[in-house]
């Protein structure tokens, strides 16, 4: 079984400050991990993913995420927040061991990020 | 978002109506998905198609009926819906449904059942 948790429903940060959106996961084997962003009245937009290799993954719009296997976390970060970053952020996981018969990408409930001018 | 398009963007229907949602992907992908997004709940995967074959049906009520006539088009036929079916319905596509490829989402159809 695979699951993902986003412990914060909302994160508020001042413009220009660093931001972190938290994600923890649970899988039987090794994970594929993804971050998506959703702006109002829009679909989800892919930001970045971790498959293997370097634990620090860089993605779109200056976002990055760090894979931490011991803490089973994949937190999303950005050094300097912009007002335009305000949106809903989703973490998602797929268990590599799930194999060819599993098509489920499990999403978290989402974290609303508000960047205050 | 021009990679995956959905029509209509908004739909209001009565419980006895029959309507269809349409999704089209222009990315050359082999897999397509329907998701339901309700407030305060995680995305719910409804159906998965791989090369036009339905490969997953997540215990979705029969009042939702998917159709995938080719790898670029996906429909969701709706009939005798309930008010609790009101939600944002998202279509997505990916190169492959089982590996590490990310999914690309359309803008969604906001469905209201009255």
The confidence band for A101, taking pLDDT boundaries of 50, 70 and 90, is low
Would you call B43 and A107 a contact, using CB atoms and an 8 Å cutoff?
Answer: yes
CA A105 to chain centre: 13
Choose among B42, B102, B108: nearest Cβ to A107. Answer: B42
| Residue B15 pLDDT exceeds 70 | yes
Mean pLDDT, range A65-93, rounded to an integer: 97
| Residue A103 pLDDT exceeds 50 | yes
Pick from A9, A37, A3, A40: nearest CA to A22: A9
Q: pLDDT tens across A32-51, in order?
A: 999 999 998 889 999 999 99
Q: pLDDT tens across A56-65, in order?
A: 999 999 999 9
Would you call A34 and B48 a contact, using CB atoms and an 8 Å cutoff?
Answer: no
Would you call A107 and B90 a contact, using CB atoms and an 8 Å cutoff?
Answer: no
pLDDT at B4: 96
Lowest mean pLDDT among A73-87, B9-23, B90-104: B90-104
Which position has the token pair 């490969």? Answer: B55
Mean pLDDT, range B24-29, rounded to an integer: 95
pLDDT at A93: 93
Q: Is A62 helix (H, G, I), strand (E, B) or coil?
A: helix
Number of other residues whose CB lies within 10 A of the CB of residue A76: 26
């Amino acid at each position: 079984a695979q699951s993902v948790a986003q412990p914060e429903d909302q994160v508020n940060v001042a413009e220009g400050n660093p931001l972190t959106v938290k994600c923890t996961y649970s899988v039987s084997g090794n994970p594929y991990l993804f971050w998506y962003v959703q702006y109002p009245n829009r679909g989800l937009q892919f930001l970045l993913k971790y498959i293997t290799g370097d634990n620090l993954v860089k993605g779109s719009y200056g976002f990055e995420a760090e894979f931490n296997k011991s803490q089973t976390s994949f937190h999303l970060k950005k050094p300097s927040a912009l007002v335009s970053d305000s949106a809903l952020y989703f973490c998602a996981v797929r268990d590599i061991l799930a194999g060819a018969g599993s098509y489920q990408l499990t999403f978290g409930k989402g974290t609303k990020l508000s960047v205050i001018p | 978002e021009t990679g995956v398009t959905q029509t209509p963007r908004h739909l209001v229907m009565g419980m006895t109506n029959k309507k269809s949602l349409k999704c089209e992907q222009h990315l050359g992908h082999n897999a397509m998905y329907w998701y339901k997004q309700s407030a305060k709940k995680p995305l719910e995967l409804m159906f998965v198609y791989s090369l036009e074959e339905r490969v997953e049906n997540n215990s979705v009520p029969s009042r939702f009926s998917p159709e995938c006539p080719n790898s670029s088009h996906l429909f969701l036929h709706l009939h005798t819906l309930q008010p609790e079916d009101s939600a944002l319905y998202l279509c997505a596509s990916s190169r492959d449904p089982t590996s590490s490829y990310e999914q690309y989402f359309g803008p969604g159809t906001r469905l209201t059942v009255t």
